[in-house]
Amino acid sequence: MTAIENRYDFILLFDVKDGNPNGDPDAGNLPRVDPETGHGLVTDVCLKRKVRNYVTIAKNEHPPFEIYVKEKAVLNNQNSRAYKALNVDIGTSDAKRKGGDNVENARKWMCQNFYDVRTFGAVMSTGVNCGQVRGPVQLTFSRSINQVIPLEHSITRMAVATEEEAKKQEGDNRTMGRKFTLPYALYKCHGFVSAHLATQTGFSEEDLELFWESLKNMFDHDRSASRGQMATRGLYVFKHETKLGNAPAHLLFDRIKVEVKDGIAVARNFDDYKITVDTSELENVTLQTLVG
């Protein structure tokens, strides 16, 4: 597969209604919030996980679309597959040292077989050394357009896990718990695709199309009671004519304005927002509206 020849910058808009888009384990699984501004946050790792899950479903883990970072994966076992495929004995090779032709060949094999390695990159030197890969696709933290106020809900469970718990409840098996949600929030994420780094990993046009497809559809295959209703609401892609790019990313991003409509005191639906797209005087850059 031939690597992409153009640089891309993009904006992703997604929302949540009556759900928790990304809980913070250090804060009792509360939705992530910027403490200074009150804006909601969703980590880049959270969105990458959803992309990986979508690719797993869409491509059924067949090479070259296997997933390296996945649930219950033992990464050194994944790394060992590269040396086995290359007929290199790990015990007598430089697999556990830095540098060397075997490490470089193993790195190339990992890029060829694992979609998330050649897309997002990976550190694959944890024991069995397959080197490191800097991925061409990078995402920022997503930040909500407006401030958010997490709600705390009391919930009950009409069962207990053990006989000991049942005895303590004296016949009443109900136990109490907590659930956190946001009534509504619209998030904006900025992303970047480097053609230069794509050349190093082999990230192709087919890979890029699969990535856009994942961003459009990933929430439809990630449903859970805790996340409420989530959906991709906008995907605006700036395609540069060259590998190096033809305009600064931040100036392109400024062309997409997301504001609450006049007369709306508190936004509770996507329709409460107005999105303005400025396409004037775009030179050597093409704006592609994939969702919106």
Peptide bond into 25 cis (omega under 30): no
**Burial of 184 by CB count in 10 Å (0-12 exposed, 13-18 middle, 19+ buried)?**
buried
Tokens 């994966």 correspond to what residue?
Answer: 73
Q: Region 159-180: what's the mean pLDDT?
A: 76
Q: What is the dihedral of CA 24, 30, 34, 35, to 10 degrees?
A: -120
Alpha-helical (H) ranges within the chain are 44-59, 75-85, 101-113, 115-120, 163-168, 195-201, 205-217, 249-253
What's the rounded Cα separation, in Å, for the pair 22 and 105? 37
What's the rounded Cα separation, in Å, for the pair 168 and 258? 53
Contacts of 146 (CB under 8 A, 6+ apart): 39, 185, 186, 260, 267
| Confidence band, pLDDT 50/70/90 cuts, at residue 89 | confident
What percent of the chain lies above the pLDDT cut of 90? 84
Tens of pLDDT along 130-164? 999 999 999 999 999 999 999 999 988 777 777 77
Counting runs of H as helices and runs of E as strands, what totals does the chain give? 8, 14
Lowest-confidence region among 33-47, 89-103, 183-197, 206-220: 89-103
Alpha-carbon separation of residue 166 from 157, 158, 177, 178, 250 (angstroms): 12, 11, 16, 20, 58
Q: Region 69-84: what's the mean pLDDT?
A: 93
pLDDT at 34 over 90: yes
Tens of pLDDT along 219-235? 999 999 999 999 999 99
| Confidence band, pLDDT 50/70/90 cuts, at residue 166 | confident
Q: Which residues pair with 121 in a beta bridge?
A: 134
Mean pLDDT of the chain: 93
pTM, whole model, 2 decimals?
0.93
pLDDT at 181 over 60: yes
Lowest-confidence region among 81-90, 93-102, 201-210: 93-102
What's the rounded Cα separation, in Å, for the pair 218 and 236? 16
Tens of pLDDT along 240-266? 999 999 999 999 999 999 999 999 999
pLDDT at 77 over 70: yes
